[in-house]
Amino acid sequence: MPKRSLSNRPTLPAARVSNRGRAFAFALLLGLGGCHTFDHIVVDRIGDTVSAGGTVFTGDTDPQLVLDALPFGLKTYESLLAATPQHRGLLLASARGFTAYAYLLQQNADLDAKLDYADRRALDRRIRALFLRGRDYALRGLARDDPDIDAELAAGRPLARLRTRDVAFLYWAGTAWAGAIDASKGDPGLLVQLPLAAALMQRALELDDAYDAGAIDEFFVTYEGTRPGGDAAAARRHYERALALSRGARASLYLALAESVAVRDQDAAEFRALLQRALAVDPNGVAEWRLINTVSQRRAVWLQTRVPILFLDEEK
């Protein structure tokens, strides 16, 4: 089953700080207005603004600051979606935002040695719910172009109606779904849904195999490297493809191979080498990857302490 590295590289919801507070104020004012058509025009315009791309969050090097800031942004998105439920940009921003928030919580939980079993289980339930919330927003976005997507997934039918413009929704739906499964710690009710997450990712790969500099290939590194019956050779092929597309500048990719194939093969030497490559990445090399590189490098340091636990032949 995919481990954390499956969502090792979620991109956080992009927003422009100068417009976010303004957007929220507008949303409050709209609740007092009486012109339904005008309200929707303004909310659509605000939605376009707050869901636009940028590096306000993804370019930060303080994960805790971003984690603390995310809830306000996410509830702002939801308040705007209440007025325009089919707004494509807001659905995508909500999908990636809830997924990223769940991922950051999960990373913090992994590294927190003070969490006892009961507290971690409770936190995992919350993380799973957040991942599923992100997945559902992404599926809503996909349903705009394919109203039968739920039935098609359940029946294993090709997602032929979806096109290149749907790749981001496919990616975030698959990432969030896999994240929820990981947070469920073997819950069979969710574990059997893993192929559905993979089907979304496979369609995304067919439509745009270079999406986000190898993000989809990175997903499949962990998917093939950790699932029961997975193909380690396929995982390595996806790793090489993602490495070429990202030019080696994303630390999370090295962790994906380390925590999947290297652990599965019990190759401690490769595991250590991959962690060193992750730590050698310049976190400021690509502005929009500063946050994910910072998070990944913190995880790499933590993983170095877990070698005796992950590898049977290593000294305790």
Give tens-digit pLDDT for 191-227. Answer: 899 999 999 999 999 999 999 999 999 999 999 999 9
pLDDT band for 7, please (50, 70, 90 cuts): very low
Q: Nearest to residue 49, comparing CAs of 90, 100, 103?
A: 90
Q: For residues 101 and 107, give the distance between their C-alpha atoms in angstroms, rounded to a whole number.
A: 10
DSSP code per residue over 206-260 = HH-TTGGGTHHHHHHHHHHHHSTT--HHHHHHHHHHHHHHHTT--HHHHHHHIII
Q: For residues 256 and 147, give the distance between their C-alpha atoms in angstroms, rounded to a whole number.
A: 33
- Residue 239 pLDDT > 50, yes or no? yes
Give the pLDDT score at 61.
Answer: 79
Give the pLDDT score at 279.
Answer: 98
Q: Which of 58-62, 182-186, 238-242 has the highest mean pLDDT?
A: 238-242
In this predicted model, what pLDDT tens digit does every residue of 250-269 receive, in sequence order?
A: 999 999 999 999 999 999 99
CB of 219 closer than 8 Å to CB of 174 = yes
pLDDT band for 75, please (50, 70, 90 cuts): very high
pLDDT band for 55, please (50, 70, 90 cuts): low
- Residue 63 pLDDT > 80, yes or no? yes
Cα–Cα–Cα angle for 289, 294, 296, rounded to 5 degrees:
95
Q: Which has the higher per-residue pLDDT, 80 or 25? A: 80
